[in-house]
Amino acid sequence: MQALVYTANEQMVYREEADAQPIGPGEARVQIEAVGICGSDMHAYLGHDPRRVPPLILGHEAAGRVLDGQHTGKRVVINPLITCGHCDYCLEGRQNLCPQRDLIGMYRPGAFAERIAIPERNLIEIPSGMDAAAAALTEPAATAIHAVNLAERSLARPVSEAKTLVIGAGSVGLFAALALHHRGATEVILADTNALRRDSAARTGTASVINPLEQPAPEAYFDLVIDAVGGRASRQAGVTAVAPGGVIMHIGLLDNDDGLDIRRLTLQEITLIGTYTYTPVDLRATLVQLHSGALGTLDWIDQRPLGEGGAAFKELHAGHCAAPKVILRP
């Protein structure tokens, strides 16, 4: 089969690879119809993720058609998070915290390929008539919605009434703004340093979009700050912008440097919450929202053939891509 393979730092090669084969019992093969480039794929591409060792097929935001097993012929979204199913976290419905969790495109082949093998329990059927590219957005959208759900439990007021700053206008940050808009939030500011991304986000009409380098967010003002970047600078900006008693949701994993004013967090009773991926329930609920149009028209994605994926990675790294999400089509 043809696949886009991460072969070395900043090297993605489109080449022939051995066909996907089930690794264990209860697995099926899926013909990939659409797969998104995630920020974590970019981290691997740049050599910033020691868990992803080349040569490796990356990619985990995928949708396709099942080729064998009990779901043969069905069009599905792939839940890329493979868990044990029997630990306390899995039994509590918090599978994203499973100590034995694995992710396709990390320790096993991912979805930048014509086919992939995946446990059948990780397949979610796509509603009839839904485009594969829209379905492939389920994973990043669920990451954002899971974060908003966690934040809402800690806020002192409904999320619809909260003043919110979202840092980062990639797909996760944009989906967070779209989810907040869907829930009735009227004061949402989306900050990004990339002019192309800001223009794309502004066209959705869901948030006020700013360049934080030219227009810093107000200090000690926001009930909720969602950091979809996760870098030292974004953490510093978030701590400065959040109001006393407010909540910071930390989604991004750009780096592991400092950037937190622990004294301010403590003295102002600011809640800092880390959030990792989603649960299967989040994925199913998100797929329904995407299909219903609750998260907008999704006309801001950029679709390209899988064979052009290497060029897409270079363009994303250079900051020359306006689209918050690039979808590759095998």
Q: Which amino acid is at 70?
A: Q
Q: Name all domains of the chain by residue range, CATH numbers in brackets.
A: 2-137+298-329 (3.90.180.10), 144-274 (3.40.50.720)
Q: What is the DSSP letter of 194?
A: -
- CB-CB contact of 217 with 187 (8 Å): no
How far apart CA 220 and CA 188 sit, in angstroms, is 15
Give the DSSP H/E element, type plus range, for residue 14: strand 11-16
Over the stretch 70-92, which tens digit does the pLDDT of each residue have? 999 999 999 999 999 999 999 99
Q: Which segments of the chain have a pLDDT < 70?
A: none
Q: How many CB atoms lie within 10 A of CB 301?
A: 18
- CB-CB contact of 36 with 136 (8 Å): yes
Question: Of the candidates 276, 246, 227, which has an alpha carbon nearest to the alpha carbon of residue 99?
Answer: 276
Q: Print the SS3 string covering 123-137.
A: EEECCCCCCHHHHCC
Q: Is 209 exposed, middle or buried (0-12, 13-18, 19+ CB in 10 A)?
A: buried
How far apart CA 118 and CA 79 sit, in angstroms, is 9
Over the stretch 5-32, which tens digit does the pLDDT of each residue have? 999 999 999 999 999 999 889 999 999 9
pTM: 0.97
pLDDT of residue 257: 87
How far apart CA 77 and CA 274 sit, in angstroms, is 25
pLDDT of residue 24: 86
Q: How many CB atoms lie within 10 A of CB 47?
A: 14
**DSSP string for 129-167:** T--HHHHTTHHHHHHHHHHHHHHHHH-SS-GGG--EEEE
